[in-house]
Amino acid sequence: MDWYSTIDFAMIKTPNKPLSRFSVAPMMDWTDRHCRFFHRLLNPEIVLYTEMVTTGALLNGDPERFLRYNTTEHPVILQLGGSDPEELAQAARYAEKYGYDGINLNCGCPSERVQKGAFGACLMAEPDLVAQCITRMRDSTSLPVSIKCRIGIDESDSYEFLEDFVTKTHAAGCDTYIVHARKAWLKGLSPKENREIPPLDYPRVYRLKEEHPDLSIHLNGGICTLEDMTTPLNMCDGVMIGREAYHNPWFLRRLAEQFTPATAPHHSRAEIVIQMMDYAAREYREFDTPLHSITRHMMGLYHGMHGARAWRQHLSNVSRHAQNNPLFVLDFLNSECMLTE
């Protein structure tokens, strides 16, 4: 079966259209192009983000390696990591050349590795520099430019600090902010701990939207159920889903059924697996992509269902036993451990 035959192109957004209220967060080592293809099969409307791509890697390496994606991913936004206005301007031109739907500047990652590159969450302490970066990117591309940030960093943990950052960068041309509703500790906490230990403060994000109604404010952090979205959707312009989308990808399907039923797909989990294996076969033919690079994103497809553990165990053996043959995965669907909907 040709993988193209598995895609309903009528359900795919074309580039540069108004974006959904829902998005999947950029997550390092997770939201690569294979993961995004998988997520698109589950939800045709949700906005997808790349992993953070640093300007250094993009401008000094192989752009094709970092920027290649499947056209079915639209709408898809390139997240950039950097703090040099000219380098970000060059990267923005690459984003437009490759047909991305927008650019997002990372001002929220708290990892020490990112801080050594003088970008990520530490940039919130330098709103004037970020404003310069936004100006140069806006001058260099027609694509919309957004910012992903925290509500604060270290002891700079007040609404006034957040508003000052937003006000200065908005004056430079940024109209859309994805705000992780936790502050970041730049020292002493790991990135994982920074996602869990600082308390969520949704009211601060709501206040930002209330006092700046002209801005598009999307809330990120702690969204794990459909019920979690009720208040944020009433108070903000949208929500960004993080690790729940990865560990429990069927959540994206439920999201589509709840909020965009007209375009929600009707494929079963097994049919999704078949489509992904068609994709894997094509990826191997064209790019020599190992099967494991694709199946590793599918571990949570049967999350919470009978047979989920057997499914995860089978996929964990792909590298050792599959020899890049998708039939290793497909045969499991008809095995004695057959998974049911």
Catalytic positions, please? Answer: 109
* 53-54 vs 176-180, strand pairing mode: unpaired
Query: CA angle, corner 180, sides to 177 and 181, nearest 5?
Result: 115
Please count the other Cβ atoms lying within 10 Å of the Cβ belonging to residue 208.
21
DSSP per-residue codes, 43-97:
-SSSBEEPPPEEHHHHHHS-HHHHH---GGG-SEEEEEE---HHHHHHHHHHHHH
Burial 274-302 (b: 16+ CB within 10 A, else e): bbbbbbbbebbeeeebbbbbbbbbbbbbb
